[in-house]
Amino acid sequence: MINLERLEQQLKARGCKLTRQRRAVLRVVATTEGRLDAARVCEDARAECPEIGLTTVYRTLDILADIGALRRLHLPDGCSSYAPASPGHRHHLICVECGRAVEFEGCDLTALVDSVASRTGFEVEDHWLQLLGRCPACQARRL
Amino acid sequence: MINLERLEQQLKARGCKLTRQRRAVLRVVATTEGRLDAARVCEDARAECPEIGLTTVYRTLDILADIGALRRLHLPDGCSSYAPASPGHRHHLICVECGRAVEFEGCDLTALVDSVASRTGFEVEDHWLQLLGRCPACQARRL
DNA sequence: TACTAGTTGAAAATGATGTTCAGTTAGAGG
DNA sequence: CCTCTAACTGAACATCATTTTCAACTAGTA
């Protein structure tokens, strides 16, 4: 769960104005657990700010991804959703049934990265890792 | 580099006909190192089969991804390209400058996966890993 | 309060990909 | 070799998510 006030501060620090529309999007982002996509965020945000348009949602999600509050998810059925991202944590574990996304930390890939780098001659700058699975609730529902 | 004959056999085994168009696409796929996207494949394939259309390229790439000969790449600038995939190997290392994609094997994530699974209660089914970096040629060009 | 740079939504543009459909063809079976 | 038909094809069109445009609006500073 993301801290709403912190988000507002980050936006201000970035020179962004806090409009009614942006507040609505921030609230949705801060209170949603799991995947977010523009259409759904827009729909939810309209509860608080009925006149918000999809364009603005896209723009706001972009900013949030920029400041690191959201991270884009890449799933088998598409690459257009986001998940809340806490600072410092780097990866997501996503439930393939319900789409719930949780973060995890402590990926230690240094040995792997070093070995691949020396074998290929590449200079490895970044890595991108996602785990896919089934969350406890969906496991229970299957029994 | 992918084996052209093996691809043709795989297609046949799947009940696909080997048309001139498909042969052209296969040839491009088998002789390209690195990223492939539909538009580029189409352009290249026209050297061998000028009347091929984009539609057919999409359909053929789909089939190749299906049989595991291609794997979709997810990059910062988009998720619509593929890379040749040898059987058994699971991951790609991509050059952020030139887009060259090489495969690597030997990712041992069992410790990580186990730890995350026990911490979150998820049943982890699959993982997705990509490394991003700079290939030897692009490193040299930078000096 | 007045100002202005940042912001907004509707509409239109874009761009990748999917679908349709009437015509074509690979290749199995005679 | 033929014949036949399911598989395949490309052009045109449909979709769908996302971006751009632009004139009107507004948060927040002075």
For residue B63, which of B2, B15, B128 has the smallest C-alpha distance?
B15
Rg, Å, chain A Cα set: 17
> CA neighbours within 13 Å on the CB side: how many for B92?
23
> DSSP labels for B46-74?
TTT-TT--HHHHHHHHHHHHHTTSEEEEE
Using the structure, give the distance in angstroms from the CA atom of A138 to the C1' atom of D26, rounded to a whole number: 46
pLDDT over threshold 70, residue A83: yes
Residue B68: CB less than 7 A from any atom in strand D: no
Position B1 scores a pLDDT of: 61
Strands A123-134 and A91-95: parallel
Candidates B104, B107, B117; nearest CB to A120: B104
Give buried/exposed letters for B102-131 (b at 16+ CB in 10 A, else e).
bbbeebebeebbeebbeebebebeebbbbb
Domains of chain B: 4-142 (1.10.10.10)
Q: What's the one-letter identity of residue B84? A: P
pLDDT of A91-117, one tens digit each?
999 998 888 889 998 888 888 999 999
Residue with tokens 């930390």: A105
* Of A16-20, B81-85, B106-110, highest mean pLDDT: A16-20
pLDDT of B37-54, one tens digit each?
999 999 999 999 999 999
Interface of B with A in 121-140 (CB under 8 A): 121-136, 139
